[in-house]
Amino acid sequence: METTLKTEREATDEEDACKTGSPVKTEKGIGSSETIPAALSIKMERGSDGNDNQGEESINPVDKITSLKTLGPFIASKDNTRNTRYISDVPEICLREPCMLGVDEAGRGPVLGPMVYGIAYCPLNSKQILTDLGCADSKELTEEKRDVIFDNINTQPYACSCIGWAVEIISPNVISNNMLGRKKCSLNEISMTAAIDLIHAALEAGVNIAEVYVDTVGPPEKYQEKLQKIFPQFQITVAKKADSTFPIVSAASICAKVTRDHSLKVWQFPEGLNLTSKDFGSGYPGDPITRKFLSENVNYIFGFPRIVRFSWSTAENALSETACLVEFDEPDSEKPKYAGPKLTKFFQSTRKNGEVQREQCRLLKERFLDSVVDF
């Protein structure tokens, strides 16, 4: 099936056709959320001549993602030092009919930028629509093809009328704090928590989930057992390379990958750096542009900007070579030394043969009394 990006007027008409009237819920970080009306208008910034300003979208503000064009402005309006969650409108049919739900991530390995977890869901009998869209492993598709599929999921009536999705953008700052904090949390734990939270979010939105397919983190058997205990009502399948096996996982993978790509494109440095994604590359340790960025953007005292995951060995090695060495006082781990006898001395003593002998009570000693053991 041939897929192309639509003109602005076509996209607007199709967005109107896709509106369900239900609210859109966005969450930023833990414990904070807001409900956004579904009918928020999204406008283009016009120049004095009535033309678009170099094709850039403006922000009026963009609190709802209705197409690829609105994805970047939505992400740019959020605080990138905290997690952001976005849940699309739930198609009416997904409230009534049993649905399959896929889970996958993007950006697990890079030293820069967020890790994004995504879910996608649709009725069990709508699998052909996923195939028509071209859903396949997002890593096997070009960036342009992923963008087209993501845009079609949100604008094409045949797709947005039966497919819903959600993403959790996990900030590199949050990843670093969790992995390096006193109470350490591994990347696997962060990943599983994000996946579980997104499934819960879909349930709370009213999606009639029947089957869940997950691209594994760690051993698939253990992960599946963990999920089955939390969601015993679902048929759950956890597998390696599920994004290339199950189209619904592929759709989730595409949503996650496109969201991460655009998160990097609109990244704003709170440190005041005037850089674009061309200046720091893909974020993978093997990317020469990324390595150059790491070597040229080290503050002697504070280290890297917060786009960098400090918990990665690539970042640690770079800091050890160029940044100031900082030592923190560790609490005294030695056991306190007591001047007096140990409390246990008054309760038992040991003979040479190892037999425990209890010391007689002073009251019995003073009165020359013995404990009667034989009658």
pLDDT at 200: 98
Phi, psi of 200 (to 5 degrees): -60, -40
Alpha helices, DSSP H, located in the chain: 8-18, 68-76, 92-96, 127-133, 143-155, 157-160, 172-180, 187-204, 220-230, 247-265, 277-280, 288-296, 313-322, 362-366
What pLDDT is stored for residue 332 in this prediction? 59
Domains detected in the chain: 68-266 (3.30.420.10)
Residue 34 vs residue 349, higher pLDDT: 349
Is 52 labelled a binding residue?
A: no
Q: What is the pLDDT of residues 118-133, one digit of tens each?
A: 999 999 999 999 999 9
- How much is the pLDDT for 301? 86
- Supply the pLDDT for residue 299: 87
Q: Identify the pLDDT of residue 51.
A: 41
Per-residue pLDDT, 349: 57
- Give the pTM: 0.73
Please, which residues have CB within 8 angstroms of residue 292's CB and are 6 or more apart in sequence?
Answer: 281
Binned at pLDDT 50, 70 and 90, residue 327 comes out as confident
| pLDDT at residue 268 in the model | 92
Checking DSSP bridges between strand 164-170 and strand 349-350, what pairing results, if any?
unpaired
* Burial bucket for residue 120 (CB in 10 Å: 0-12, 13-18, 19+): buried
| Contact status, residue 283 vs residue 110, Cβ threshold 8 Å | yes
Known binding residue 215? Answer is: yes
Q: Are 26 and 34 in contact (CB under 8 A)?
A: yes
Per-residue pLDDT reduced to its tens digit, 265-276:
999 998 888 999
Question: Higher-confidence residue: 164 or 336?
Answer: 164
pLDDT, tens digit (0-9, with 9 covering 90-100), for 30-78: 333 333 333 333 333 333 334 433 333 344 568 899 999 999 999 999 9
Q: Is 105 annotated as a binding residue?
A: yes
